[in-house]
């Protein structure tokens, strides 16, 4: 799914604005940290975080809804193509049958107006009589069969024309729906940009503190989220297993190239596009790790930015194309033994399971692709 130029410009402006605000914070420490417990600034930061979280959830759902609408549009267009092909095929068959009936009519005309009685009573022997009877029956049945086939094909053509009209209507409707969702997403991005723009340097710094606290709170419940997913999978499979195995590919350590652990989420030096290093030997995990630090961008499947399902799609397939949405991944088989490379998903967000109750995900604007705790309400499924 190609991201619009307008949305790309909005994203660039958004990230640039956030960087400018944070830079201003660092350049004016006496202002930013003169009173970190300021009730008004703290409330401003909390309100901004709540607004940004709500807008991000809206964006994630919009991404899934737009993908679904585009899939439905493609299915309807394929149904149109199939109907048109069948109409053309049936029309050719009708033309052939009509030609054969025309030949029969011309043949009967050239042989004169002999009736069945003429043929039968003109027979001089019983054998000739029987032969004429069989011949006439065969001709009549053949003619009747040609006429029946023609009628059935004409009826099928009319049915396929009705199918074509309906599928064309659906395709048009779904295209309009996808366009509407995209326009609403652009409005949402503008609202996020406005939220960042309204923040003072102090409030921007406090916002990042609030985000760090939010991640820490998520980390505290991530273990329960994973345990609940395991329990659900066990119930679905009529098994009772509570063990998890990470194949030795748990959290990142200081020896893992390219990123360092800090504050609940890992920080990575931004790169122009994904890299691939066989850090864990798990291709899905390693592709996801190679995207750490890249930008979040609504509707993007790489190579320089991703949204949540775009990142999962790339990690699973290695292709910069959308494999599915959160709705798609919710339908994958839930597992009772989560492994690195599985997918953590709820209806609004998704990421690649990394081990030890963490996932690699495209989080939000201004944050990008990071490692963080498995979020509330998620289940773990296997691609």
pLDDT of res. 272:
66
Mean pLDDT is highest, among 141-155, 228-242, 243-257, 278-292, for: 278-292
Q: Rg for the chain (alpha carbons), in Å? A: 33
- 173 confidence band (pLDDT: 50, 70, 90): very high
What does the alpha-carbon distance between residue 168 and residue 164 come to, in Å, rounded to a whole number? Answer: 6
Q: Dig out the tokens for 170 from the structure.
A: 């659906």
pLDDT tens, residue by residue, 104-121: 656 655 554 455 555 445
| All structural domains of the chain | 38-197 (1.10.287), 223-381 (3.90.1720.10)
What does the alpha-carbon distance between residue 358 and residue 373 come to, in Å, rounded to a whole number? Answer: 4
Question: Among the listed ranges 35-49, 106-120, 150-164, 297-311, which one has the minimum average pLDDT value?
Answer: 106-120
What does the alpha-carbon distance between residue 68 and residue 178 come to, in Å, rounded to a whole number? Answer: 8
Q: What is the mean pLDDT of residues 166-174?
A: 94
What does the alpha-carbon distance between residue 16 and residue 343 come to, in Å, rounded to a whole number? Answer: 31
For the entire predicted model, the pTM comes to 0.66
């Amino acid at each position: 799914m190609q991201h619009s130029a307008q949305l790309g410009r909005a994203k660039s402006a958004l990230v640039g604005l956030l960087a400018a605000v944070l830079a201003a914070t660092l350049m004016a420490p006496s202002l930013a940290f003169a009173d970190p417990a300021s009730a008004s600034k703290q409330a401003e930061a909390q309100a901004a975080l709540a607004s940004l979280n709500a807008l991000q959830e809206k964006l994630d759902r919009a991404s899934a809804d737009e993908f679904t609408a585009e899939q439905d549009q493609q299915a309807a267009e394929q149904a149109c193509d199939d109907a048109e092909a069948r109409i053309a095929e049936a029309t050719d068959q009708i033309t052939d049958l009509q030609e054969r009936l025309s030949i029969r009519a011309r043949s009967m005309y050239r042989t004169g107006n002999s009736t069945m009685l003429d043929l039968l009573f003109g027979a001089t022997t019983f054998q000739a009589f029987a032969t004429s009877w069989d011949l006439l029956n065969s001709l009549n049945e053949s003619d009747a069969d040609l006429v029946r086939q023609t009628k059935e094909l004409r009826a099928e053509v009319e049915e396929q024309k009705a199918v074509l009209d309906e599928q064309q209507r659906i395709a048009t409707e779904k295209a309009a729906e996808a366009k509407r969702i995209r326009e609403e997403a652009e409005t949402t991005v503008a609202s996020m940009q406005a939220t960042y723009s309204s923040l003072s340097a102090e409030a921007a710094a406090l916002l990042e503190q609030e985000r760090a606290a939010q991640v820490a709170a998520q980390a505290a419940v991530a273990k329960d989220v994973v345990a609940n997913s395991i329990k659900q999978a066990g119930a679905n499979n009529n098994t009772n297993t509570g063990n998890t195995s990470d194949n030795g590919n748990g959290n990142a350590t200081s020896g893992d190239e390219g990123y360092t652990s800090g504050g609940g989420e890992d920080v990575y030096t931004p790169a122009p596009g994904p890299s691939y290093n066989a850090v864990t030997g798990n291709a899905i995990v390693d592709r996801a790790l190679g995207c750490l630090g890249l930008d979040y961008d609504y509707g993007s499947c790489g190579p320089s930015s991703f949204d949540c399902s775009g990142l999962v799609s790339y990690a699973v397939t290695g292709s910069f194309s959308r494999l599915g949405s959160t709705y798609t991944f919710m339908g994958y088989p839930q597992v009772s033994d989560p492994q690195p490379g599985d997918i953590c998903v709820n209806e609004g967000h998704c990421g690649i399971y990394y081990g030890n109750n963490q996932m690699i995900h495209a989080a939000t604007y201004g944050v990008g692709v990071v490692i963080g705790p498995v979020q509330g309400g998620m289940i773990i499924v296997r691609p």
